[in-house]
Amino acid sequence: MSSATAGTNLRPAAGRGAWLGFGNLARNEAAQWTGTRNAWGQPLVWLAIFVAPLSLPLVFMREMVAAEAGSVFEAAIQMPFQLGILALPIGAIIWLHGAILGERETGTAAWVLSKPASRTSFVLVKFVVHTLALVVVALLLPAAAAYVALSLEAGAALPVGPYAAAFALLGLNLPFYAALTLMLSAFARSRGVVLAVGLVLVFGVEAALAVAPWLAHTGPWLLGRMAIVLASGGPLVTPWPLLSIPLWIVAFLALAVWRVRREEF
């Protein structure tokens, strides 16, 4: 996975006010996915992350898993969510950690913003384009492949509703960490700082929750466990992450826009 960097194939700007140049910039950002080896490389990476490990309980370690877990299917259906709760945030952080900071370093941001493009569009287009791209290649495609593998193990098609709801819940990690990383990229002067803060939040949150369990409801920290329950046909454990995560996303993006609008590129 590589960080997002802007290209130079811009067209006449469209839009007005805060959205000036959004479509033009969106085409430029999308080219990083469609016009490079990422078009086939990223789907392969994410299929390997999510689906390849399923071969362990379903094929290579089948007898061992059955002896320990009692059911190969019950053990296997948890794997995409256990992997995704770490892989999706890490993917968003790595892909977007240089989205703004990198363009500041190379001078690309100053060049782009000298054209008819607003600074609000400059920030928001990165969030929209790269989050949607990650949803497709890192969430929808692996979810479909895992669905086929798990359905074959179950001997019948899994109920689509609970399975889709579980992956949608897991997918909330992508916009949360994408917005967080964009905000950090707007404020920080070092890629290492952006990566460190994001990754510490991913891997260190369990320690914080041990001290203050109530924090679990204030962000995406419970999404993996909640997704497993949903995929198994259980209820939504708590609605609070569904309410708090959109608020965090709006706050992160607002801070990123505020910083970029005051930046001397």
pLDDT tens-digit profile of 16-50? 567 888 888 999 899 989 878 888 999 999 999 98
Side chain identity, residue 230: L
CB atoms within 10 A of CB 265: 16
To 10 degrees, the CA torsion angle through 184, 188, 193, 198? 0
Q: What is the mean pLDDT of residues 168-176?
A: 96
pLDDT tens-digit profile of 210-243? 888 888 889 999 999 999 999 988 999 899 999 9
Please say whether the beta carbons of 229 and 136 come within 8 A: no
Tell me the CA distances in angstroms from 8 to 109, 126, 211, one per residue in order. 11, 15, 48
* Residue 14 pLDDT greater than 60, yes or no: no
pLDDT tens-digit profile of 247-262? 999 999 999 999 999 8
What Rg value do the Cα atoms of the chain yield, rounded? Answer: 20
